[in-house]
Amino acid sequence: SSVLTLTKVVKTYGDTVALNSVDLRLPNDSYVSLLGPSGSGKTTLLRVIAGFELPESGSIHFLGKDVGTAPPHERDIGFVFQNFALFPHMTVRDNIGFGLVNRLNNPVTDTNVAQRKVREIIALVGLTGLEDRAVTQISGGQKQRVALARTLITEPKMVLLDEPLGALDANLRSRMRTELKAIRERCGVTFLHVTGSETEALAMGDIVLVLDDKRIVQQGDADMIYNQP
Ligand code: ADP
Ligand code: ADP
């Protein structure tokens, strides 16, 4: 079944068309790469899905519900930023717990439950033992895991990642590819990963979407993308 469906979504900024009638359908529980050159509309597409921007026309259904006009916090969609956006004065644990404490209408009020959830998420992303480190004292790969954990702790039904490996050096980037795939498999939600790198998109995506000139021009698994003219 599909987690997200976009139908004929159009987004413009003044005279600039940023998304030109985008149709897409994302299955549950999968790793999806969104590949496209600079200026093709990747970031705009993520922002429209997240609810940071409203499209001019078209519809967006998330888990069967029309979210066209729903505010971002009603979407259950997590967002991981390229620069990680961590709080530098806080520890790993507090950065991760912040997502939970700060969440609107969160039913988790019991501190013990909250602490257990933080521990579980720390184990899930592979940060056990580093809980008390300041985030200024950990590596780039570890910061990436903190950013992901902070999103996952709110239990999103889908996670959007905007060039998540862009801030890492080449060595670490290839290790984190494998790590991100493994983390996604453990939590079972759909990841939509934006990248300008064909190698990265094809290596990581169960499904690859190709965006060109503000519309989706190809959609399929890596084999299919390779074999299409
Ligand atoms: P990508 O992420 O693939 O580089 P974007 O989604 O950032 O592409 O941009 C798609 C198009 O929309 C580009 O032509 C870009 O210049 C334009 N655009 C994006 N954001 C804005 C904005 N805030 N104001 C005006 N034009 C924008
Ligand atoms: P990872 O692959 O998990 O990012 P690295 O191989 O980059 O790990 O780093 C190994 C160890 O070196 C880490 O456990 C981390 O504590 C330490 N380290 C790496 N980079 C930094 C840094 N910029 N500041 C402080 N410690 C660092």
pTM: 0.85
Ligand approaching nearest to the C-alpha of 42: 1
Mapped to the 3 state alphabet, what secondary structure does 56-101 carry? CEEEEEECCEECCCCCHHHCCEEEECCCCCCCCCCEHHHHHHHHHH
The 31-35 sheet, strands edge to edge: 77-80, 158-162, 190-195, 31-35, 207-212, 215-220
Q: How far is the CA of 213 from the centre of ligand 1 (A)?
A: 11
Q: Using CA atoms, how far apart are residues 191 and 200, in angstroms rounded to an integer?
A: 14
Q: Using CA atoms, how far apart are residues 15 and 188, in angstroms rounded to an integer?
A: 40
Q: Using CA atoms, how far apart are residues 78 and 186, in angstroms rounded to an integer?
A: 16
Ligand approaching nearest to the C-alpha of 48: 1
Q: Whose CA is nearest to atom 5 of ligand 1?
A: 41
**Mutational pocket test of ligand 2: of 122, 127, 132, 142, the residue with most ligand atoms within 8 Å of the beta carbon:** 142
Of 103, 125, 100, nearest in space to 114 by CA: 100
Mean pLDDT over 4-31 rounds to 95
ipTM score of complex: 0.66
Q: Using CA atoms, how far apart are residues 62 and 158, in angstroms rounded to an integer?
A: 10
Beta bridge partners of 22: 9
Ligand approaching nearest to the C-alpha of 53: 1
pLDDT tens digits, 101-157: 655 455 555 677 788 889 999 999 999 999 999 999 999 889 999 999 999 998 999
User: Regarding beta strands 158-162 and 16-27, do their DSSP bridges make them parallel or antiparallel, or are they unpaired?
Assistant: unpaired
Q: How far is the CA of 160 from the centre of ligand 2 (A)?
A: 25
With 90 as the cut, is the pLDDT of residue 34 above it?
yes
Tokens representing 192? 């939509």
Share of the chain above pLDDT 90, in %: 68
